Amino acid sequence: MAELCESLLGLEDELTCSICLGTFVCPVTIPCGHNFCQLCLLATWTDTYSCPQCRTLFATKPELKKNTVLSTVVETFNLRSNKSEASLLGEETATEKKTERVIRCDTCMEAKAAQTCLTCMASFCDEHLRPHRENPVFRLHQLGDPVGDLSERICPDHHKLMELFCSQHSRPICSLCLQQTHKGCSFTSPEEQRTLKECGLRSALKMLNGKITKNESVVTQMRDMQNKLKDSATYRKKAMMTAFQQMQNMLAQEESDAMNAVDCEVETGQTKLRLLEKRFSENIETMSKAKEDIHSMLSQSQTLAFLQTSFTLPEAVNFDPYTPRINLDSKKVMATQIFVANLKDYLAAILKQPMESRVPLLKPGEGAACDLGFPPSSSASPQESAPQVKTGSKKKPQKTKKPPKSNEALMGNKNLGRLMENLLEFGAMDISRDCPPVAEAKPKPGTSDISPNITSAEKRSELLKFGTVLTFNPRTAHRRITLSEGFTKASVSDEHANYPECPERFSVCSQVLAGKGFSRGRHYWEVRMSSNNFVGIGLAYGGIDRKGPTSRLGRNALSWCIEWFNVKLSAWHNSSETVLVNPNPKRIGVLLDCEGGMATFYSVGDRAYPFHSFVIPGGVAAIYPAFWIFSSGSSISFCKLQA
């Protein structure tokens, strides 16, 4: 029985849930073979369904059934543990009671007993113990510490002292029991058995102390993590608030400048109109006076006096009045209005994108920063020239200005350049040193966005011109990877293949290289993945480490990798990660341009859609297609290149 308890106590780690770190409560088994508490497992499943221990992703929610065998073992373990704790408490209580109870001499019934004779089965004080100490007849009697209830030491079957302990049946026995009922059983003395039991209990106590310490350490770490999360959130919120405030200040300044430009244009027009109005008013007064003189002459009744009176028309009659063409459609105002409309559309288009896709759109040097690519506003009339004021009586033909060639001509003012520069600098600003890689605007070394000469969707037939036939190199395959179908399919499993030892083989990461490498020319190949989960497709030089911890694709300077880790897609090079938008492809195409130093990855369907490119030094050494497969049952296959 004691051995069974010890064996069950040794299985405590196997009967512990890896989520709550306690013994299983209603244990369930998922398809990958791992066991968890039902409530703990359901609490971890929110949007996706994956194993918390091996990270295997399930397409649908697995059906959970109680593991009855494991549940029975857990119940037995808990029962034995409770019994052991109860027995320990009982022994401590009994010891305390024995310590507190005074044992009297069986002869005088008054004095305190000094020792107990297990041969006489009686307790004696110092006075009545003298015969046992002085008389040679009692020399062979066995004396010991005072024992309260000697009837517990008597065998109920043979009425003899139980001075032995049967290890197989875990009970005290007498010498006749050993010769009859327990014949052939192994036995020890009660003192030796007590020593063994104390060692077992101390081991259990040590294990419990270790478990308690470990749990307390985990609780402390989680509390520290909570505090760090709060501090990090506070810091990042302050950084983002500062950045947004700076943008608001920049936009407010630009708004003020734009309003001032309109006000200045209004003031200029009104000044010109006031000057013209004053001149026209003076002309009216002059001609009104001349009109009165004419009426005065016509009213003259004396003919001789009428004929002697002279009259000259004022010069104002030679001025041909006109309505001046003054409006706000100046070049500066028009450029500001068009810029504001295009900037609004530009920001709206950016804000519609997911956060991971916004930062590349703000990177400087990728496309015209000022040419936003939007048509001019319908309210703008580029054919209209600046306001003109006629000062002479003759009309001069108006010169028609040619329309601007593009919006860039209208937006070439200082305000536009300053605002766009500020916005681009803000997009490239490293707000927080703790921000994830996706928030960094500076390009990672070894990675780049899609080359400008590659369109958003290419005809697959154009890529097939550079198609090449590839197979996997069995000398590089990790022992978890199985090659089949003429070395064109690589699968991964938990069982290791019996591959011979060779220096080219990966021994740490489940990776494999293609059998052919390239150092010049253009080459294109396609692979099909069984699932977009824990899979990597990349390139590596032949000198990549095969044995050490840095042999993982993308975690060194000699390899590049596009990696699916759960639902996240990342580009890796030299341990630097760039998070990408996941197109969830099943078929991936890779175009390697050795002379151009570029490797482009495509999501292949009816057309090829590039989603990331790496800058790769060309002409140094041969570079090989490389692959990483982790999830058991996953596979990668080379596709036949057919149009």
- Please report the pLDDT score of residue 561 as a whole number: 95
What span, in angstroms and rounded, lies between the C-alpha atoms of 35 and 19? 10
Instruction: Decide: residue 470, CB within 10 A, 0-12 exposed, 13-18 middle, 19+ buried.
Output: buried
What span, in angstroms and rounded, lies between the C-alpha atoms of 245 and 452? 34
Give me the residues paired with residue 105 across strands.
none
Q: Angle of helix 2-10 relative to helix 68-100, nearest 10 degrees?
A: 120
For domain 148-188, which architecture applies? Answer: 2-Layer Sandwich (3.30)
Three-class secondary structure of residue 590 per DSSP: strand
What span, in angstroms and rounded, lies between the C-alpha atoms of 476 and 263? 74
Fold topology of 447-638: Jelly Rolls (2.60.120)
- Please report the pLDDT score of residue 76 as a whole number: 81
What span, in angstroms and rounded, lies between the C-alpha atoms of 338 and 375? 9
538 within 8 A of 627, measured Cβ to Cβ: yes
pLDDT in tens, 254-284: 999 989 989 998 998 899 889 988 988 999 9
pLDDT in tens, 2-33: 555 555 556 777 788 888 888 888 888 988 88
- Please report the pLDDT score of residue 595 as a whole number: 87
Residue 374 has pLDDT above 60, yes or no: no
Find the range with the poorest average confidence among 119-133, 590-604, 621-635: 119-133
Cα dihedral 330→335→336→342 (10° resolution): 150
HEC string for 37-100: EHHHHHHHCCCCEECCCCCCEECCCCCCCECHHHHHHHHHHHHHHHHHHHHHHHHHHHHHHHHH
Find the range with the poorest average confidence among 70-79, 344-353, 499-508: 70-79
Could you tell me the two tokens for 461? 């037939």
Residue 210 has pLDDT above 50, yes or no: yes
Every domain of the chain with CATH number 3.30.160.60 lies at 148-188
Which residue in 538, 526, 366 sits closest to 453, CA to CA?
366
Residue 392 to residues 272, 276, 539, 599: CA-CA distances in angstroms? Answer: 15, 12, 78, 70
Find the range with the poorest average confidence among 70-74, 233-237, 399-403: 399-403
What span, in angstroms and rounded, lies between the C-alpha atoms of 392 and 319? 7
Which residue in 378, 391, 387, 250 sits closest to 331, CA to CA?
387
Segments of 444-597 assigned E as strands:
447-448, 481-484, 489-492, 511-513, 522-529, 535-541, 559-565, 568-573, 576-580, 587-593
What span, in angstroms and rounded, lies between the C-alpha atoms of 91 and 257? 90
Contacts of residue 122, defined as CB under 8 A and 6 or more positions apart, other chains included, come to 106, 107, 116, 150
Every domain of the chain with CATH number 2.60.120.920 lies at 447-638
